Amino acid sequence: MFSSINLIGIDIVPGLLVVQGSIFLMVLWFLNKILFKPILKILQERDERTEGFLNQADQVGEKAEETLEQYNEKFRQARKEALELKRKIILEGAGKREAVIDKARKEAQGFLEEMRKSLVEEAERTKKTLRQQVDAIGQIMAQKALGRSVSG
């Protein structure tokens, strides 16, 4: 039915070759339509979804980093404010302490002055009393020593 051609020791039937080629192309077209295109479409959709999820994950990661940076900045600012407030309180406390110490010194100096004045006055009174008593004691001693009364 079909005549064969001998090439390099191989018998080739051209009509059969055309029929087999046509069958191959029809099977290829059928497989492409039924199998390859749907599989490629599914793989492409999966790649697109995966790419979308990766992009979304990157965006979430970037947003998380931004939020963390904002949190760290707020934390640094709050710490700076707390240190400034602490320093201010310490300075106010030091100022109040100095004021209290100065007041106590002034009160102590006033008390010491009063005590000095009081001691000077007491010493003067004691000297005056002793001078008065010295004369009386001297007369008594003279009377005892002489054995008679001495008027003076």
Summarize pLDDT for 13-51 with one digit per residue, the tens.
888 888 999 999 999 999 999 999 999 999 999 999 999
Establish if 42 belongs to a structural domain: yes
Establish if 151 belongs to a structural domain: no
Residues sharing a CB contact under 8 Å with residue 14, sequence separation 6 or more, in sequence order: 2, 3, 5
| Residue (of 89, 86, 66) closest to 78 by Cα position | 86
Establish if 94 belongs to a structural domain: yes
Structural domain count, the chain: 1
Full domain range(s) for residue 70: 5-146
Whether the CB-CB separation of 25 and 33 falls below 8 Å is answered with no
Establish if 14 belongs to a structural domain: yes
The model scores a pTM over 0.85: no
In the chain, what percentage of residues exceed pLDDT 90? 52
Establish if 152 belongs to a structural domain: no
